[in-house]
Amino acid sequence: LYGFQQYAGVTVTTELQVAPTLVLSTNSLTFSSIEGSRPPAQTLRISEATAGPFSWSLVVATSSGGSWLSATPGNGNGDAVVSVSANPAGLGVGTYRGTITVNAAALSRSPQVVEVTLTVTSTPVFSLSTTSMSFQALPGADPSPQNVSLNLSGGGAPPWTAGASTTSGSNWLVVTPAS
């Protein structure tokens, strides 16, 4: 630089400007359901990178299965948490797809699409290898253990618990594992 001595005492300040940008907590949601049961709602967080004011709206759509997908609230101002629900009532076993489009016209990276998948599995059917047992033992001795098999057909592997009860005596019958 020629003549830079003339600029002694001058301060130059720069500032980086970040464009207001739409930010979503996720770009996909997955729901799993056993026929006849409703999965828990999930959340979608909507925010703006610079914490500035903005308005947004949602468009919910499904490509199959009717209107099983919902999101509330459907519009708002500023950062928000949206509750997303899947209602499989009336849907058969299968995989269903939908989308939630988030529009925030004043922000970059808008609109954004959240892909939503709902998988409905058949109702599981439990069966036992036996429904009754008989134990024999000498007084003061433990009877030999016996096994019962728990069989599951249909979809999923839901939680289960087992308990023991007797019609006479005390708590001499034990089930392991209990779940």
Q: pLDDT at residue 114 above 90? A: yes
Question: pLDDT per residue over 80-97, tens digit each?
Answer: 999 999 999 999 999 999
Specify the pLDDT at position 158: 64
Mean pLDDT of the chain: 87
Q: Does 54 have pLDDT greater than 90? A: yes
Per DSSP, 15 falls in state: -
Work out the pLDDT band at 123, boundaries 50, 70, 90: confident
Q: Please give the torsion angle defined by the CA atoms of residues 66, 72, 78 and 79, in that order, rounded to the nearest 10 degrees.
A: -100
